Amino acid sequence: MSITRLLTSLLFVIAMAFTPLAAAQQEDPGVALLNDLATASPREVEAAIKAIANSGDERARSWLEAFGSNRLSIIKDSGKIVVVLNNRGRDWTIADALTSENLGEISRRKLDRININNAMRRQLEGTLAMLDLYADNPDLQAQAGKDLLGKVDEALVEPLTEFLAQDRPRAVTNRVEQALAIYRVEQLGDIEAVDVLAGSLHSRARAALNSAVTSDDPALAGKARIALESVEQKLKLNRAAETLYFGLSLGSVLVLAAIGLAITFGVMGVINMAHGELIMLGAYTTWGMQQLLPGQPGLALILSIPAGFLVAALAGVAIERSVIQFLKGRPLETLLATFGISLILQQLVRTVISPLNRTVITPEWMSGSLIINDALSLTLNRLYVLAFALLVFAALMLIMRKTRLGLEVRAVTQNRAMARSMGIRATRVDVMTFALGSGVAGLAGVALSQLTNVGPNLGQNYIIDSFMVVVFGGVGNLWGTLVAGLTLGTLNQLLEPWAGAVLAKIVVLVFIILFIQKRPRGLFPQKGRAAEG
């Protein structure tokens, strides 16, 4: 927020908090404030924070934020207090905390950090939230109100009641009331406050009520219990919705990972064991992109969608030309050869890039979650992946149904010899198909880089699942893959709560094995004499 707005908001703080410091404005008061903070014992820190907040100094906020992100340090010999601008590596860039002039690099050895721990951070967040409440930016205010939940202590009670006195947007005051109510219920065992919290789905509010239930005041306990039961039903619904979402999102991951395989395997009967590594390539492309465009993870991510596709597709073509074309009609051999390739690709990544996992940054707009209500929120990154998966699927469907390539591909799947005789260049189709399948794998990699490790083993973790999905869905049938993926995902997530993660996975695998016994050709088998034998 701009300095002016900060100032206006600070005025209120000054108005209500009586502070000798604010009055006496001789030489820079920051020195004293910061030194207090630096030397404060854990017990005194709170006071020091409040002092800074109430000092009305326009630098207060930046100091507190620096403190919060653990970037306030003291230069050992000079005792000067500085803000660390870049704390990577062994030499850190610092700036003067008071004048905020850049002091260049300095060895870590020469710095003493002013440490903060979670307890302090809570108070800090409370205080900062107080400041934000007065920002005339509704979102900020709402957020601040939310942050205050469970962070209210008696120091804040008075200012907050003040705050409520003035007329403010409902959204904000609701929160503040709740925040106060939580404080009252927890600290004072105030029965009236329970009404305020009744009906709230927010975990913090329920936490307060839960603790009230166990209190020795029967009246309070009873009231709290009723308040809790009133939301029980809502919660159940939300939980169900949540589980469903989890299932779909896991399913979408499976679909993404498998759909490329569905194409290569389904159309060409090629068991591409290197499929996982193609996914890995996609993920590494994302990482590479972010290295090329430092500071713009979002843009990099978007660019790596086409890039990942290309890289994987080219790799696919290379594999097809160099190995698979020699193994026509020998699916089991392709399985072995491609497995060899997967080993090579993995080791290549290990030696060329690093055996360690790579950091792929999640852009702002993809982190956090979409809040439906206090009890139900959908994690954004998975939401995007889900959407992406459906998008990719739709695109593939289009290609298969509407384009010349798709037509030829289907022709080749149905009856290779016949298609050939009708002048379709089967080899070309093969290359194109394989490239397409591989490219899609690359896309899966790009998506996965937002969910899991980007490392040499990335592919290994998905290859078996992918095969399961394809076989379960029915080879050569994209719809099958979609349905299978989503089904297995949901099944897994439904089982997990009571079976545990490991058992759930096992159960799903066994289920697939048995299913294949019943329907050897999966959910949507290809019928007719062509498929026989």
Partner 1 sequence: MNAKKSLKLGLSALALTVSLSVTAQEGPIKVGILHSLSGTMAISETALKDTMLMLIEKQNAEGGVLGRQLEPVVVDPASNWPLFAEKARELLAQEKVDVIFGNWTSVSRKSVLPVIEELNGLLFYPVQYEGEESSENVFYTGAAPNQQAIPAVDYLMNTIGVERWVLAGTDYVYPRTTNKILETYLKDQGVAEADIMINYTPFGHSDWQNIVSDIKRFGSAGKKTAVVSTINGDANVPFYRELGNQGVSASDIPVVAFSVGEQELSGIDTGPLVGHLAAWNYFMSVDSDANYDFIDEWVKFSQDDEAVTNDPMEAHYIGFNMYIEAVNKAGTTDVDAVKDAIIGVSVPNLTGGYATMMPNHHITKPVLIGEIQDNGQFSTVWQTPSTVAGDAWSDFLPGSRDLIADWRKPMSCGNFNVKEGKCGASAGEQALAAE
Partner 2 sequence: MWLTRPFYERSTQLFLGILFAALLVVTVLHVALPEGHPLHVTSYTVTLFGKYLCYALLAVAVDLVWGYLGILSLGHGAFFALGGYAMGMYLMRQIGDRGTYGDPILPDFMVFLNWQELPWYWLGFDMAWFAFIMVLLAPGLLALVFGFLAFRSRVTGVYLSIITQALTFALMLAFFRNEMGFGGNNGLTDFKDILGFNLRTDATRLGLFLATGVALAIGYVVCRAIVTSKLGRVSVACRDAEARTRFLGYRVERVQLFVFVVSAMLAGVAGALYVPQVGIINPSEFSPIFSIEIVVWVALGGRATLYGAVIGAILVNYAKTVFTGVMPDAWLFALGALFVLVTVFLPQGIAGLLKSRHTAKEAAA
Partner 3 sequence: MSIMSELTNRDRVFDFLTPSDSPVDVRHGPILYLEDVNVSFDGFRAINNLNLTIDDGELRCIIGPNGAGKTTMMDIITGKTRPDTGSVWFGSRHNLLTKSEPDIASLGIGRKFQKPTVFEALTVFENLELAMAADKRILPTLTAIMQPQYRDRIDDVLQTIGLKDLRDKLAGILSHGQKQWLEIGMLLMQKPRLLLVDEPVAGMTEQEMERTAELLTGLAGKQSVVVVEHDMGFVRSIARKVTVLHQGSVLAEGTMDEVSNDPEVIKVYLGEEA
Least spacing, CB of residue 441 vs partner 1, in Å: 17
Q: In sequence order, what DSSP letters do the residues of 307-368 get, joined into one string?
A: HHHHHHHHHHHHHHHHTGGGGTT-HHHHHHHHHHHHHHHHHHHHHHT-SSPBP-PPPGGGSS
**Tokens (6 digits) for 348:** 């290549």
Q: Is 529 in the site for partner 3 (CB under 8 A)?
A: yes
- Sole binder of partner 2 in the list 216, 517, 527, 528 (CB under 8 A): 517
- Sole binder of partner 2 in the list 80, 122, 410, 505 (CB under 8 A): 505
**Tokens (6 digits) for 308:** 């990942």
**Tokens (6 digits) for 130:** 């107080």
- Sole binder of partner 2 in the list 15, 344, 391, 398 (CB under 8 A): 344
Contacting range for partner 3; rule: CB under 8 A; set: 183-191, 429-437, 491-499, 522-530: 522-530
Q: Which of partner 2, partner 1, partner 3, none binds 510 (CB below 5-8 Å, type-dependent)?
A: partner 2
DSSP one-letter code for 401: H
User: In a 3-state reduction of DSSP, which class is residue 38?
Assistant: helix
- Sole binder of partner 2 in the list 138, 169, 331, 368 (CB under 8 A): 331
Q: Is 373 in the site for partner 1 (CB under 8 A)?
A: no
- Tell me the per-residue interface mask from 4 to 43 with partner 1, x by CB under 8 A, - otherwise: ----------------------------------------
Residue among 167 and 532 whose Cβ is closer to partner 3:
532
Contacting range for partner 2; rule: CB under 8 A; set: 192-200, 239-247, 329-337, 435-443: 329-337
φ, ψ of residue 75 to 5 degrees: the values are: -75, 120
Contacting range for partner 3; rule: CB under 8 A; set: 266-274, 278-286, 419-427, 525-533: 525-533
Q: Is 518 in the site for partner 3 (CB under 8 A)?
A: no
**Tokens (6 digits) for 97:** 């905390």
Contacting range for partner 2; rule: CB under 8 A; set: 27-35, 209-217, 331-339, 387-395: 331-339
Instruction: With beta carbons less than 8 A apart as the criterion, state whether 486 and 298 touch.
Output: no
CA-to-CA distance for 427 and 117, rounded, in angstroms? 64
Residue among 218 and 528 whose Cβ is closer to partner 3:
528
CA-to-CA distance for 479 and 348, rounded, in angstroms? 35
- Sole binder of partner 2 in the list 159, 222, 269, 306 (CB under 8 A): 269
The angle, 0 to 180 degrees and rounded to 10, between the axes of the packed helices 138-148 and 118-133 is 140
For the stretch 204-222, what's the b/e string if a residue is b when 16 or more beta carbons lie within 10 angstroms of its beta carbon? bbbbbbeebeeeeeeebbe
Residue among 92 and 524 whose Cβ is closer to partner 3:
524
Instruction: With beta carbons less than 8 A apart as the criterion, state whether 521 and 474 touch.
Output: yes
Q: Is 520 in the site for partner 3 (CB under 8 A)?
A: no
CA-to-CA distance for 148 and 466, rounded, in angstroms? 45
CA-to-CA distance for 177 and 8, rounded, in angstroms? 24
Provide the total of helices (H) and of strands (E) in the chain, helices listed first: 22, 7
Q: Is 382 in the site for partner 1 (CB under 8 A)?
A: yes
Residues 163-202 that bind partner 1 (CB under 8 A): none
Tabulate helix, strand, coil % of the chain (nearest 5).
70, 5, 25
Beta strands in 28-135 (DSSP E): 72-75, 81-86, 91-96, 102-107, 111-113
CA-to-CA distance for 281 and 14, rounded, in angstroms? 57
Q: Which of partner 2, partner 1, partner 3, none binds 379 (CB below 5-8 Å, type-dependent)?
A: partner 1
Q: Is 518 in the site for partner 2 (CB under 8 A)?
A: yes
Residue carrying the six token digits 């800090």? 124
Contacting range for partner 1; rule: CB under 8 A; set: 107-115, 256-264, 475-483, 522-530: 107-115
Q: Is 488 in the site for partner 2 (CB under 8 A)?
A: no
Contacting range for partner 1; rule: CB under 8 A; set: 137-145, 239-247, 273-281, 439-447: 239-247
**Tokens (6 digits) for 515:** 């299913």
User: In a 3-state reduction of DSSP, which class is residue 273?
Assistant: coil
Query: Which strand (E) or helix (H) includes residue 369?
Result: strand 369-371
Least spacing, CB of residue 359 vs partner 2, in Å: 23
Residues 442-471 that bind partner 2 (CB under 8 A): 464, 467-468, 471
Least spacing, CB of residue 353 vs partner 1, in Å: 12
CA-to-CA distance for 214 and 209, rounded, in angstroms? 9
Q: Is 170 in the site for partner 3 (CB under 8 A)?
A: no
Q: Is 473 in the site for partner 1 (CB under 8 A)?
A: no
Q: Is 62 in the site for partner 1 (CB under 8 A)?
A: no
Binding stretches for partner 3 (CB under 8 A): 527-529, 532
Binding stretches for partner 1 (CB under 8 A): 69-70, 87-90, 108-109, 112-113, 115, 117-119, 121-122, 125, 150, 203-204, 206-214, 242-243, 246, 249-250, 253, 347, 350, 355-362, 367-369, 377, 379-382, 451-455, 457, 461, 492-493, 496-497, 500-502, 505
Binding stretches for partner 2 (CB under 8 A): 269, 271, 273, 323, 326-327, 331-337, 339-344, 346-348, 350-351, 464, 467-468, 471, 502-503, 505-506, 509-510, 512-514, 516-518, 520, 533
